[in-house]
Copies of this chain bind each other. A is one copy, B any other.
Amino acid sequence: MLLALVLQAAAIEGMWEPSQLLSLGQPLRSAGYLDDPARLADLRAAPLGALVSLGGCTASFVSDLGLLVTNHHCAVGYLQRAQREGEDLVETGFYAPTRQDERSGGKGARVFVTQSFEDVTEKVSGKVPARTDDTQRKALIDERTKKLVAECERPGGLRCRVASYFEGLRYTLVRQVELRDVRLVMAPPDAVGNYGDEIDNWHWPRHAGDFAFLRAYIGRDGRPADYSPDNVPYAPPQRLVVSPRGVQPGEFVMVAGYPGSTERWRTAGEVSRDATLQLPAYIEDGTWALDMLESVARELPSEAVKVNVPRSYLSNGVFNARWTLEAFKRTDVVGVATARDEALRRWIDADSARAAAYGPVLGEIAARVGLRDPDFERDRVMGWVGRSDLLSTARSLYRWARERQKPDAKREIGYQARDEGRYAARLADMQASLSLEAERRLLEHFLARAIALPPGRGSAELLAWVNATGATGGPEEKARAAVARLLADPALATAEGRLAWFKQGPAAFEASRDGFIGLAVALRPYDDARERESKDDAGAYARLRPRYAEAMRAFDPARVYADANGTLRVTFGTVQGYRPRDAVTYAPQTTVHGIVEKMGPHPFDPPAALVSAIERGKWGNYADPALGTVPVDFLSDLDITGGNSGSPTLDAKGRLVGLAFDGNVEGIASDYVFDAQMARTIHVDVRYLLWYLDAVAQADALVRELGLEPAL
């Protein structure tokens, strides 16, 4: 009955900056929020003070001893890095009953705690000298950015970045504490955390227990430190309170987190280019690559575990692209964007002051968007060649060697002293997903395509290198011979080899006889040319896009929030289902009985302990009163995107009631246009999490650390 009412509530689209919440008191209250919006905007108070970024995912502190809760799928890397010979922690799950049992999440594990935001627009993009060309503009912005970051990080233990809002209309310096000792506490088996896997991915009804627990540690001196057994749990400034009551359909919920990027401020020309060029090409190549990885996994069991994670990322990306394109057609996203930009154009033309200020902007952006398309096929194929882990590592290491010749402040962003530690960790960690067979098939396919491009349309550097290997015959034959050369004992195929080359100077690279290193050196002119183009584009966009955003905001005052940019955002709304198609209604909650109902071959093979606990039917206080049983996942009309994974879902009083972990296929084009009728966020219900810990995992210590008493 509630359902019918709830469906009428309109979603409040928007990924709000915390400071914007101060002016959203009215909509927040109408949606059901019961606390003071000012408290919600305060980075140093709960709940936002308890939020952290894991770099690509979100987590939140849920105890005074640094305990973090996030998604299972955000902890997969931790499980892989923490596992020992003969273990498969992704499959079995993990639980450390005491702190001594917790395991390091590896050298690359990071937790970022946002401390403050500072508007640095003037410092970044102000006072640009006359006659600065676009390339110079980009260099200027980079130089100023590096300076701000360096100053910000000087005290140590901090990570700072300059984020662009509204297409460069505003720049903000984000200051974060960086914790480097993060350990694995608990994750359910894959068949719980990832129940339904790729079949259920992006779909409702869903029954995944997509949760996991980590713990952040610091040095005994109270400062961020690398992993050491001597470290102590980090005492977070704030932590979330867990509400075992959960939420009901129609109730207020909000999600705070670190959404990565959206495209809602793209011009019609850009959306159209994505629809006709970028997405179809990506779907085609990605589908090939996905099939290839699946063949590798099927044919070579020893490689299966290596390609598993890249395969699942690629599968997610291709699925997303395919359905985004479908949604583009279904809801005519390009037509809507075109009509919007045309209306903006008419509005600009209708007033001479506006015409003077913004007149040429739309046309200049349009010209810039299509500027590189004559070389689209070349760059498309070269891009996929560059997805080879060994080639991209060789290119990065060669770049590192060159950048290290410069003073730190002059180095390219991403190649400074501050970046060394994380890159070294990546060089070590990549071993888990490095499959030489997948490398071989990827390179043979895309090298052959690169070689087969019409004369003058490919990369001359690549062709010269292929010919220099002595490879002959048709494109396939040449590619096979060249790849055989590359894969003959590659120096970068081991962690030791990569770390050794991380210490070498440019001359060593240029003298090396290693295949991948030689190819990286050979491609340098190609890479340099692309970088010059891309910097020129970035400089042009830094000049044009702020004016487009400014015009659009003046034309359409409803466009009040910026595209996602990896900074802390809040989205709020209500728990509600939807009507995916004629005669079908999706309720906003699933139950544990749905897990049993779905049972079948993998990925619908829940652990016996879970099934028998469901059959036992002891729900303790974790049952939903209306459902009479434990809810598993629920839906809301919140506005999230990739990066929000693991974000805490909060109730009207800011208490933890779930974790956001996915969107729905019907709303998959939300990165471009948010469809309030169809777009839904999928959350795991905190009551399933608690019931699972209590009744299935018997993780009593963890339940107590969450402030509750085990009862089952």
**A interface vs B, CB < 8 Å?**
1, 4, 204-205, 207, 577, 581-591, 593-594, 597-598
A1 to B593, CA, bound (A): 24
CB of B581 within 8 A of CB of A205, answer yes
The distance from the CB of A601 to the nearest CB of chain B, in whole angstroms, is 12
Nearest B residue (CB) for A596: B582
- List 5 other contacts, CB 8 Å, given A581-B597, A581-B598, A583-B594: A207-B582, A581-B594, A582-B593, A582-B594, A583-B590
Nearest B residue (CB) for A330: B597
CB of A583 within 8 A of CB of B1, answer no
Q: Report which of B4, B585, B590 forms a contact with A1, defined as CB distance below 8 A.
A: B4
CB of A205 within 8 A of CB of B583, answer yes
Nearest B residue (CB) for A633: B583
A283 to B271, CA, bound (A): 48
Report, nearest first, the 6 A-B pairs whose CB atoms are least far apart: A582-B594, A205-B583, A583-B587, A585-B585, A583-B590, A582-B590
Question: What B residues does A590 contact at CB under 8 A?
Answer: 582-583
Question: What B residues does A586 contact at CB under 8 A?
Answer: 583-585
A588 to B585, CA, bound (A): 11
A590 to B207, CA, bound (A): 28
Number of copies: 2
CB of B1 within 8 A of CB of A584, answer no
The distance from the CB of A349 to the nearest CB of chain B, in whole angstroms, is 33
Q: Report which of B582, B587, B591, B594 forms a contact with A591, defined as CB distance below 8 A.
A: B582
Give the residue among A205, A582, A591, A593 with the most B Cβ atoms within 10 A.
A582
Give the residue among A1, A583, A585, A589 with the most B Cβ atoms within 10 A.
A583
Question: What B residues does A593 contact at CB under 8 A?
Answer: 582
Question: What B residues does A207 contact at CB under 8 A?
Answer: 582
The distance from the CB of A249 to the nearest CB of chain B, in whole angstroms, is 11
Question: What B residues does A598 contact at CB under 8 A?
Answer: 581-582
A583 to B575, CA, bound (A): 14
The distance from the CB of A114 to the nearest CB of chain B, in whole angstroms, is 35
A584 to B583, CA, bound (A): 11
Question: What B residues does A584 contact at CB under 8 A?
Answer: 205, 584-587
CB of B205 within 8 A of CB of A582, answer yes
The distance from the CB of A93 to the nearest CB of chain B, in whole angstroms, is 23
Question: What B residues does A582 contact at CB under 8 A?
Answer: 205, 207, 590-591, 593-594, 597-598
The distance from the CB of A426 to the nearest CB of chain B, in whole angstroms, is 40
The distance from the CB of A549 to the nearest CB of chain B, in whole angstroms, is 35
Question: What B residues does A583 contact at CB under 8 A?
Answer: 204-205, 577, 586-591, 594
Nearest B residue (CB) for A582: B594
Question: What B residues does A577 contact at CB under 8 A?
Answer: 583
The distance from the CB of A588 to the nearest CB of chain B, in whole angstroms, is 8
Question: What B residues does A581 contact at CB under 8 A?
Answer: 205, 594, 597-598
Nearest B residue (CB) for A206: B583
A594 to B584, CA, bound (A): 10
The distance from the CB of A585 to the nearest CB of chain B, in whole angstroms, is 4
A204 to B588, CA, bound (A): 20
A586 to B579, CA, bound (A): 10
Nearest B residue (CB) for A592: B582
Question: What B residues does A4 contact at CB under 8 A?
Answer: 1
**Could you write out 21 A-B pairs with CB less than 8 Å apart?**
A1-B4, A204-B583, A205-B581, A205-B582, A205-B583, A205-B584, A207-B582, A577-B583, A581-B594, A581-B597, A581-B598, A582-B591, A582-B594, A582-B597, A583-B587, A583-B588, A583-B594, A584-B584, A584-B585, A585-B585, A585-B586
A205 to B585, CA, bound (A): 11
The distance from the CB of A676 to the nearest CB of chain B, in whole angstroms, is 18
A577 to B584, CA, bound (A): 10
Give the residue among A4, A585, A591 with the most B Cβ atoms within 10 A.
A585
Question: What B residues does A204 contact at CB under 8 A?
Answer: 583
Nearest B residue (CB) for A581: B597
The distance from the CB of A283 to the nearest CB of chain B, in whole angstroms, is 16
Nearest B residue (CB) for A207: B582
A204 to B1, CA, bound (A): 23
Question: What B residues does A591 contact at CB under 8 A?
Answer: 582-583
A204 to B584, CA, bound (A): 9
Nearest B residue (CB) for A634: B583
Question: What B residues does A587 contact at CB under 8 A?
Answer: 583-585
The distance from the CB of A32 to the nearest CB of chain B, in whole angstroms, is 22
A593 to B594, CA, bound (A): 30
A443 to B597, CA, bound (A): 41
The distance from the CB of A132 to the nearest CB of chain B, in whole angstroms, is 51
Nearest B residue (CB) for A632: B582
The distance from the CB of A88 to the nearest CB of chain B, in whole angstroms, is 29
The distance from the CB of A206 to the nearest CB of chain B, in whole angstroms, is 8
Give the residue among A204, A584, A590, A598 with the most B Cβ atoms within 10 A.
A584
A593 to B582, CA, bound (A): 7
The distance from the CB of A203 to the nearest CB of chain B, in whole angstroms, is 11
A27 to B686, CA, bound (A): 46
A589 to B583, CA, bound (A): 6
The distance from the CB of A682 to the nearest CB of chain B, in whole angstroms, is 11
Question: What B residues does A594 contact at CB under 8 A?
Answer: 581-583
The distance from the CB of A225 to the nearest CB of chain B, in whole angstroms, is 46
A207 to B204, CA, bound (A): 23
The distance from the CB of A593 to the nearest CB of chain B, in whole angstroms, is 6
Question: What B residues does A588 contact at CB under 8 A?
Answer: 583
Question: What B residues does A589 contact at CB under 8 A?
Answer: 583
Question: What B residues does A205 contact at CB under 8 A?
Answer: 581-584
Nearest B residue (CB) for A595: B582
A584 to B591, CA, bound (A): 12
The distance from the CB of A277 to the nearest CB of chain B, in whole angstroms, is 23
Question: What B residues does A1 contact at CB under 8 A?
Answer: 1, 4
A170 to B453, CA, bound (A): 80
The distance from the CB of A332 to the nearest CB of chain B, in whole angstroms, is 14
A205 to B582, CA, bound (A): 7
